């Protein structure tokens, strides 16, 4: 421990070969039927951990796959809530204008003027420690959604300002259509593709925010497993030096963030009317 170097000696007297296409623990295949056939099995009388174990002996590969459900759903659910808030508030501001637009503009300016990370930390630290893991999950998701909607609301507002003077809007008003029908049935479909591209670019931000909060100990907490919770175990130099595989959860974070960013850029280019 003084030199932070791991010393071990291989035991070559008892080889433990990995088995392929073998029978093992029974499992349910997509809930359709029960089977016990496996592609890879540990040796007889041995164990197999492809990505090592954590400090409590739990398989890292299984925990990374299991944590993907939490990290990805926080991004998707958070963006969905932000999408609804941004479209509703931005739509009202862009269609009615006047004091409604002025109020929305001042609120969005205040929220966007506050640095995001300190605000995330403050709101996450305010969550009671007595809450169950499920309540903490929904609390973190709600916090991220409430702080992400201003950008989308401003985009919706600017688009509605340019569209509300079109002839089809005037015709809908003369036919007696309600403001809600005009906004959601006639105006929003004209730039929904742009909104979808913007939302896809917001998903990586949500995932990184959850990972950062959990890594700092202010987000999700065990027994919930997410990529941020897994990375929180690699906060000291001893863990990095002796157990470098504890940093492996950052690999899916990087890959997923890059994937959503590429998809968002592709969608934005595809819906850009000035691209040829």
pLDDT in tens, 178-210: 878 887 787 777 777 777 777 777 888 888 888
Label residues 53-74 b or e (16+ Cβ within 10 Å = b): bbeeeebbeebbeebbebbbeb
Residue 273, pLDDT above cutoff 70: no
Domain of 220, CATH number, reads: 1.10.3720.10
Q: Let me know if residue 42 belongs to a domain.
A: no
Residue 40, pLDDT above cutoff 80: yes
- Give pTM, 2 decimals: 0.76
Q: pLDDT value at position 272?
A: 60
- Give CA–CA dist 8/177, Å, rounded: 77
Q: pLDDT value at position 4?
A: 61
Q: Identify which has the larger pLDDT, 6 or 80.
A: 80
Residue 229, pLDDT above cutoff 70: yes
Q: pLDDT value at position 131?
A: 81
Q: pLDDT value at position 80?
A: 87
Q: Let me know if residue 49 belongs to a domain.
A: no
Structure tokens at 20: 């392929």
pLDDT-derived band at 234 (thresholds 50, 70, 90) equals confident
Domain count, the chain: 1
What Å distances lie between residue 156 and 57, 189, 204, 243, CA to CA? 50, 11, 21, 48
Q: Let me know if residue 57 belongs to a domain.
A: no
Q: Let me know if residue 33 belongs to a domain.
A: no
Residue 91, pLDDT above cutoff 70: yes
Residue 256, pLDDT above cutoff 60: yes
Lowest mean pLDDT among 4-13, 131-140, 204-213, 221-230: 4-13
pLDDT tens, residue by residue, 131-183? 888 788 888 888 888 888 888 888 888 877 777 777 888 888 888 888 788 87
Determine the structural domain holding residue 183 and report its residue range. 71-271
Q: pLDDT value at position 228?
A: 84
Burial (CB count within 10 angstroms: exposed 0-12, middle 13-18, buried 19+), residue 87: buried
pLDDT tens, residue by residue, 45-54? 788 888 888 8
Q: Among all chains, which residue has been given the structure tokens 């204008």?
A: 97
Q: Let me know if residue 175 belongs to a domain.
A: yes
pLDDT-derived band at 271 (thresholds 50, 70, 90) equals low
Q: Let me know if residue 257 belongs to a domain.
A: yes
Q: pLDDT value at position 39?
A: 87
Q: Let me know if residue 11 belongs to a domain.
A: no
Lowest mean pLDDT among 55-64, 234-243, 255-264: 234-243
pLDDT-derived band at 3 (thresholds 50, 70, 90) equals low
Q: Let me know if residue 59 belongs to a domain.
A: no
3-state SS class at 155: helix
């Amino acid at each position: 421990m003084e030199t932070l170097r791991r010393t071990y000696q291989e035991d070559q007297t008892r080889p433990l070969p990995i088995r392929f296409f073998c029978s093992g623990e029974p499992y349910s295949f997509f809930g359709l039927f029960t089977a016990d056939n496996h592609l890879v099995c540990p040796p007889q009388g041995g164990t197999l951990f492809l990505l090592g174990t954590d400090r409590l002996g739990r398989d890292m590969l299984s925990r990374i796959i299991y944590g993907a459900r939490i990290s990805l759903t926080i991004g998707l659910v958070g963006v969905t809530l932000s999408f609804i808030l941004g479209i509703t508030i931005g739509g009202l501001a862009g269609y009615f204008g006047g004091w409604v637009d002025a109020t929305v503009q001042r609120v969005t300016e205040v929220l966007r003027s506050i640095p995001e990370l300190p605000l995330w930390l403050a709101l996450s630290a305010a969550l009671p420690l007595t809450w169950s893991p499920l309540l903490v999950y929904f609390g973190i998701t709600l916090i991220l959604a409430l702080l992400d909607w201003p950008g989308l609301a401003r985009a919706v507002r600017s688009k509605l300002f340019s569209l509300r003077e079109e002839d089809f809007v005037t015709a809908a008003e003369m036919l007696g259509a309600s403001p809600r029908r005009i906004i959601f049935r006639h105006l929003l479909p004209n730039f929904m593709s742009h909104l979808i591209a913007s939302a896809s670019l917001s998903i990586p931000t949500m995932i990184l925010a959850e990972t950062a909060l959990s890594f700092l100990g202010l987000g999700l907490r065990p027994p919930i497993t997410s990529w941020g919770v897994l990375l929180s175990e690699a906060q000291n130099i001893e863990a990095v030096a002796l157990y470098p595989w504890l940093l492996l959860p950052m690999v899916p974070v990087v890959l997923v963030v890059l994937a959503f960013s590429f998809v968002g850029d592709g969608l934005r280019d595809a819906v850009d009317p000035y691209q040829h």
